[in-house]
C-alpha cells in the first residue's frame, strides 16, 4: 500500500529503511514484493535466533492458545521455569529476576533500586552512552539532542570518560554517587568497548563508596558477546544487569537481574508492571534461552567475530565489538556504502560515529552468510577506490 499521499497515523520515530517488511526466516527478511534481504541489523539487535525461529513460534502459539496473559498477581509455572533458566544462566550465584517490557524500563528500575539501596541520588554515566528514552534512562544517555526537551527536574547524572580515572574519582569525592551505569560495549557509539581496566576501576570505586555498578546489557546480553552476560567474559561483575532486546526473540520483554543480597532490599510493591512476566512473553523467552544453550550458539557468536576480524583485517577495516555486536570502521562516512549494501540485499546499521557501521546479526548466522557479506563489501570497496 502506498503511503505517499495518505495520512500516516503513526507519530514519527526512526528514519526508516526503504523496506516494507513482510515475513522472515532466520537471517533472511522478505519485503512485500518477495525481495530477500540478509538482515545483519538483526531486527534492531533483537532477533538473536533469526526471524520467527520455529521453536519460539511454536512456544508462543501453544502458550497463546492456553493462556495469553495474566499478570504477576497469580503464580505461573511458565514464568517460574523461564525465570529459573534466566537465573541459572546469569552470573550471580543466586540471581533474582524482575521482568518488565523493554530495555529502558529495566534501566529505569535499576537506577531506582540503586537509589533505594544506597540512599544516594547522583549517578555517573559514561560519555557516548545510550540507555533508553524514559526519564531516568534518557537522563543517563549522553545526547544533547535527546535532552533538548527535558527540564532540570530529572536525575542528576554526571557524564564521565570511562578512561579518565582522576575525574571519576573526583566526582565520587564531590557528589553522593549512588550508581554508575554503563554499557560494556557502547553500540550506538560505534561499538566502543569499555576497557577491562576501566570496569575493574569502577567496580572497586563503587565497592568503596557504597554505590551500585549497573551493566546495561540490553545489547551485550543473552549470549550475543559469547557469554550469557558480558560480565563473565570480562571477569568484572556488576550489582545489577539489565537485559531486553534478544530475551524473547522479538516479543517485548525486559529483565533486571541482581544477586539475592541486593534483591532483599526490594520489598513487595517497590517494583511492578502489568505486562512484565506475561505468559506468552515467558514462553517465547524460555524457548529462546533453551535454543541458545542447546545449540551452543554463544560459541558460534565468538566464531563469527573471529571470521569477521580476519576478513576485516585483510580489507584494512578496523573492527570493534565482540561476538555478534560488530562495528566496522571505514576511512569515510559509511552512508553510501550501506545504501549500496542494501541494494545488494544486506541490511546493516549506522551508528553515532559516521565512519562506523554496525552488524548485530542472529548468533546462529551461518559463516557462509558472513562470507557473502564480506565478499560483497570487498567488491564495493574496490569499486570505490577505482
Binding site for ligand PLP (CB under 6 A): 102-104, 107, 130-132, 183, 187, 216, 218-219, 244
Nearest residue (CB) to ligand PLP, 91 versus 132: 132
* Number of Cβ within a 10 Å radius of residue 267: 8
Nearest approach, Cβ of residue 43 and ligand PLP (Å): 12
Quick one: 122 or 245, whose CB is closer to ligand PLP? 245
- Contact at 8 Å (CB) between 83 and 77? no
Question: Of the two residues 39 and 216, which places its CB atom closer to ligand PLP in the complex?
Answer: 216
Q: Which is nearer to ligand PLP, 220 or 364 (CB)?
A: 220
Coil, helix or strand at residue 179: strand
Q: Give the nearest distance from C-beta 104 to ligand PLP in angstroms.
A: 3
Instruction: Report the nearest approach of ligand PLP to the CB of residue 348 (Å).
Output: 16
Residues 6+ apart with CB under 8 A from 241: 90, 91, 214, 215, 217, 221, 229, 231, 256, 257, 258
Smaller CB separation from ligand PLP, 89 or 181: 181
All residues at 6 or more sequence positions from 149 whose CB lies less than 8 Å from its CB, including other chains = none
Shortest distance (Å) from residue 143 CB to ligand PLP: 12
Radius of gyration of the chain (CA): 21
Is 28 strand, coil or helix? strand
CB of 46 to ligand PLP, least distance (A): 9
C-alpha neighbours within 13 Å on the C-beta side of residue 258 = 23
Cα 240 from chain centroid?
Answer: 15
Residue nearest ligand PLP by beta-carbon distance: 103
Amino acid at each position: 500500500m502506498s503511503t505517499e499521499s495518505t495520512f500516516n497515523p503513526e507519530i514519527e520515530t526512526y528514519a526508516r529503511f526503504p523496506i516494507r517488511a513482510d515475513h522472515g526466516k532466520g537471517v533472511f527478511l522478505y519485503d512485500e514484493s518477495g525481495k530477500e534481504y540478509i538482515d545483519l541489523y538483526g531486527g534492531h539487535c533483537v532477533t538473536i535466533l533469526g526471524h520467527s525461529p520455529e521453536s519460539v513460534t511454536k512456544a508462543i502459539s501453544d502458550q497463546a492458545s492456553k493462556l495469553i496473559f495474566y499478570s504477576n498477581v497469580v503464580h505461573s509455572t511458565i514464568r517460574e521455569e523461564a525465570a529459573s533458566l534466566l537465573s541459572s544462566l546469569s552470573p550471580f550465584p543466586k540471581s533474582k529476576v524482575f521482568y518488565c517490557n523493554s530495555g529502558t524500563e529495566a534501566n529505569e528500575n535499576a537506577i531506582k533500586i540503586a537509589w533505594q539501596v544506597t540512599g544516594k541520588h547522583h549517578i555517573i554515566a559514561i560519555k557516548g552512552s545510550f540507555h533508553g528514552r524514559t526519564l531516568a534512562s534518557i537522563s543517563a544517555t549522553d545526547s544533547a539532542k535527546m535532552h533538548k526537551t527535558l527540564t532540570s527536574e530529572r536525575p542528576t547524572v554526571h557524564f564521565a570518560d570511562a578512561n579518565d580515572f582522576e575525574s571519576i574519582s573526583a566526582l565520587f569525592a564531590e557528589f553522593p554517587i549512588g550508581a554508575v551505569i554503563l554499557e560494556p560495549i557502547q553500540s550506538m557509539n560505534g561499538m566502543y568497548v569499555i576497557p577491562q581496566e576501566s570496569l575493574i576501576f569502577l567496580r572497586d570505586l563503587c565497592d568503596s563508596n557504597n554505590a551500585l555498578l549497573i551493566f546495561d546489557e540490553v545489547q551485550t546480553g543473552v549470549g550475543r558477546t559469547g557469554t550469557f552476560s558480558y560480565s563473565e567474559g570480562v571477569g568484572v561483575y556488576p550489582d545489577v544487569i539489565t537485559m531486553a532486546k534478544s530475551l524473547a526473540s522479538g516479543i517485548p520483554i525486559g529483565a533486571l537481574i541482581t544477586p539475592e543480597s541486593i534483591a532483599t532490599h526490594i520489598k513487595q510493591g517497590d517494583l511492578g508492571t502489568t505486562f512484565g512476566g506475561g505468559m506468552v512473553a515467558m514462553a517465547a523467552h524460555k524457548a529462546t534461552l533453551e535454543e541458545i544453550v542447546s545449540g551452543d550458539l554463544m560459541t558460534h557468536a565468538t566464531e563469527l567475530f573471529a571470521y569477521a576480524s580476519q576478513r576485516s583485517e585483510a580489507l584494512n577495516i578496523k573492527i570493534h565489538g565482540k561476538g555478534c555486536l560488530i562495528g566496522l570502521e571505514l576511512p569515510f562516512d559509511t552512508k553510501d556504502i550501506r545504501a549500496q549494501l542494501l541494494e545488494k540485499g544486506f541490511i546493516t546499521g549506522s551508528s553515532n560515529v559516521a565512519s562506523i557501521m554496525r552488524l548485530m546479526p542472529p548468533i546462529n548466522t551461518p559463516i557462509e552468510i558472513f562470507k557473502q557479506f564480506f565478499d560483497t563489501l570487498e567488491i564495493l570497496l574496490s569499486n570505490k577506490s577505482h
